[in-house]
Structure 1
Amino acid sequence: MNYKTNDSINVLFASDDNFAPYLGVAIYSFLKNNHQDFRKINIHILAKRISKENKTILEEIASPFGENNLIFIEDEGISKILGKKIQANRALSSFSRLFAASFLDETIEKVLYLDADSLILGSFKELWETNIENYYVAGVLDVGPDYVKTAVGLSKDVNYINAGVLLINLKKWRNEDVESKFIDFLEKNNMQVYNNDQGIINATLNDSILIVDPKFNLMSPFLEKDYDDVIKWNGLKNYYDKETIENAIKNPVFLHFVHFINGRPWFKDTKHPCKDLYLKYASETQYKNDVVVEDYRGLKYKLFFSLTNFLPYKLVCLIYRPYRDFFIKYF
């Protein structure tokens, strides 16, 4: 595997038809800020019933950015591969990314997986050229509290990455039959794993994960709250220092819009700090009239985050966190 002379990149997204507009914005922002660094960009999409119309739009979004390919991996192909490996109704949506080594051509030795609830503002060249020959995967530490680790049998003190950005060493996955480890873990847990593929990756590969700079997966909590608040009230241990996070905020490559106080930047009445920036990128795509929607979060989230409108965040966390942890862990 040659990490120094890459002039092409393989990227992997996953989406269904409903999320196609946000996938379109993510692809557009990726190409706009990365096309100059790669001779060829191959974007592979795990496509869950994406319509012909949306596929055409996605191809139109990609077409102005030089030599690149959009490769749709269809439902039928995914189901066929997964059907031979695991039997679960949830497999397609929850676990399909675990089997990227089977979906993608065996000549592809590594792939950059990106979540579509995102905006890409910088180049992934540095990460793409990172040597992961001795690692299964590279990623950014998650912002979740301790129970996300203990829920999958890990110690509170180990590293746990967020699966929104993963640089995957497909060659090592194939050579060491990592998929069998995933299947064994799924079967031992009756196909119910907290955080789905993220939990599985951390639980099974934890001894060989490379932790990378948070600029490659900067999550909403650090965009909406101060560093000290996020660290203290999420109970984060052995995390990035304040200077590293502040640098990531100043120079982000990947903004990851995980649910937090203000939800997604495309919610109609959101106060998300990246709302204007997101809508600016969206306005440059064919989906400019399709991205804004009502806040669709459940009552649990709305209750918690509505309290932050008139109570200090620290106080809300102090009151709510024990209940949140209990309900998320046991329900």
Structure 2
Amino acid sequence: MKQNALEVVYASNDGYARHLGVSLCSLLDRNQDMEEIRVHILSMGISRENQARLQRLADRYERKLIFVEIEALEGRFDHPVDTGGYDISIMLRLFMAEALPKDLDRVLYLDCDTVVAQSLKHLWNVRLGDRIAGAVMEPTIYKEVKESIGLGPEDGYFNSGVLLVNLKKWREENIQEKLLEFWKEKGGKLFASDQDVINGTLKGRILPLPPRYNFFTNYRYFFYRSLLRVSPSYRAVTGAEFREAKHHPFIIHYMGDERPWIAGNLNHYRKAYERYLAQTEWAKTPKEKGKRLYMLAYHGLDYLTVLCPSARFAISQSMGMRFVENRKKDRK
């Protein structure tokens, strides 16, 4: 494998194809310094029309796009699966080693709701050693969630939206089988579904990456000391790294409810999404309506984070499971 050849993986259904297009456009635009880029899309029903749109986007940058259709995903589980209201396609990443070429030893997985803001050359060259993957810590996850998957206060919890994966070790150690077994042991139901499965299964085998490689947009309003208070394991990240991520993120992750494609959102980083949306064939797609008041209230919660972090944590804790119920009513 060429050191300067970037291998990227996305996973999507048809409903998220537009956001995949935005992320793909940003990836290709910001990484024109890479000698070669191959993008693998694990598809669960992406329409021919949307596949053609994505292909034309890749052709514009003269990059390779490979679609891998995954059918009957439910049939791969011998137990009921509850994804908390999300489409089951979110589980696709668990099967990446099986779906991708066997000679592919290393990949960068990206969620569709990300925008690449700078070259990923340095991220791609991070050495994983004996770790299975590299990821960015998510310190605001609830203590109860960590405990439910066997993690203690000093154990890091990682967001699965950006994963630098050692596919060779993944295959050698039968990680896919271990992930599915962990999921089964938990009854096929966890708070953050596949993300919890990855964290529980790969405890101690994930390399912490700087937050600039997966910056959650609502973290703009958190203080570093507040994050340390709720998660001692976040000491793996320095205050300087956290502040740098706020101002110069390499990958922006629109995690949470303040999404840039919803009308009325006031996300500070929304212009990055809008800039690349305008360069895709989905440019004229109207924003989702009906949530303006909710968007205003959510943005108020952002500022509450600045004024009184403890109040923000308390509200998030009490409403966490309610957010899951809301997702069930508004499936992707």
Q: CA-to-partner distance for each residue in 1:108-149, whole Å, 9 max, x for gaps?
A: 111110011111011111111112241111001014332331
Aligned residue for 1:41, secondary structure, equals strand
Q: Is the 8 A contact 1:227 1:242 kept in 2?
A: no
Equivalent residue for 1:281, pick from 276, 283, 291 = 276
Equivalent residue for 2:30, pick from 30, 33, 37 = 33
Q: Is the 8 A contact 1:136 1:205 kept in 2?
A: yes
Aligned residue for 2:171, secondary structure, equals helix
| Structure with greater contact order relative to length (CA < 8 Å, sep ≥ 6) | 2
Q: Is the 8 A contact 2:158 2:199 kept in 1?
A: yes
Q: Is the 8 A contact 2:81 2:188 kept in 1?
A: no
Distance 1:207 1:172 in 2: 14
Report which stretch shifted further, 167-176 or 6-15.
6-15
Q: What is the deviation of 1:296?
A: 5.9
Report which stretch shifted further, 211-220 or 274-283.
274-283
Kindly indicate whether residue 102 of structure 2 is the aligned counterpart of residue 109 of structure 1. no
Aligned residue for 2:203, secondary structure, equals helix
Distance 2:230 2:290 in 1: 27
Q: CA-to-partner distance for each residue in 1:46-77, whole Å, 9 max, x for gaps?
A: 212111111111111111212x221111132x
Q: Which amino acid aligns with 2:148?
A: A
Q: Is the 8 A contact 2:301 2:312 kept in 1?
A: no
Q: Is the 8 A contact 1:119 1:254 kept in 2?
A: yes
Distance 1:56 1:329 in 2: 33
Q: Is the 8 A contact 2:266 2:296 kept in 1?
A: no
Distance 1:32 1:303 in 2: 32
Query: Percent identity among equivalent residues?
Result: 28
Kindly indicate whether residue 298 of structure 2 is the aligned counterpart of residue 305 of structure 1. yes
Kindly indicate whether residue 288 of structure 2 is the aligned counterpart of residue 293 of structure 1. yes
**Cα gap change, 1:33/1:303 in structure 2, threshold over 3 Å: closer, same or farther?**
closer
Kindly indicate whether residue 92 of structure 2 is the aligned counterpart of residue 100 of structure 1. no
Kindly indicate whether residue 38 of structure 2 is the aligned counterpart of residue 45 of structure 1. no
Q: What is the deviation of 1:247?
A: 1.2
**Cα gap change, 1:111/1:324 in structure 2, threshold over 3 Å: closer, same or farther?**
same
Q: CA RMSD in A?
A: 3.0
Q: Is the 8 A contact 1:24 1:58 kept in 2?
A: yes
Q: Which runs of 5+ in 1 are unaligned?
A: none
Q: What is the deviation of 1:40?
A: 2.0
Q: What is the deviation of 1:325?
A: 5.3
Matches within 5 A, 1:59-208: 59-66=55-62, 68-76=63-71, 79=73, 83=75, 86-88=78-80, 92-145=88-141, 146-208=143-205
Q: Is the 8 A contact 1:222 1:230 kept in 2?
A: no
Distance 1:281 1:325 in 2: 31
TM-score by length of 1: 0.85
Q: Which amino acid aligns with 1:266?
A: W
Aligned residue for 1:36, secondary structure, equals coil
Q: Is the 8 A contact 2:133 2:205 kept in 1?
A: yes
Q: Is the 8 A contact 1:152 1:194 kept in 2?
A: no
Q: CA-to-partner distance for each residue in 1:180-224, whole Å, 9 max, x for gaps?
A: 21122112111112211111111111121111111100111223x
Q: What is the deviation of 1:315?
A: 7.0
Aligned residue for 2:112, secondary structure, equals coil
Q: Is the 8 A contact 2:262 2:287 kept in 1?
A: yes
Q: What is the deviation of 1:318?
A: 6.3
Distance 2:282 2:116 in 1: 17
2:233 corresponding residue in structure 1: 238
Q: How many residues align?
A: 317
TM-score by length of 2: 0.85
Q: Is the 8 A contact 2:23 2:114 kept in 1?
A: yes
Q: Which amino acid aligns with 1:113?
A: Y
**Cα gap change, 1:70/1:291 in structure 2, threshold over 3 Å: closer, same or farther?**
farther
Kindly indicate whether residue 315 of structure 2 is the aligned counterpart of residue 323 of structure 1. no
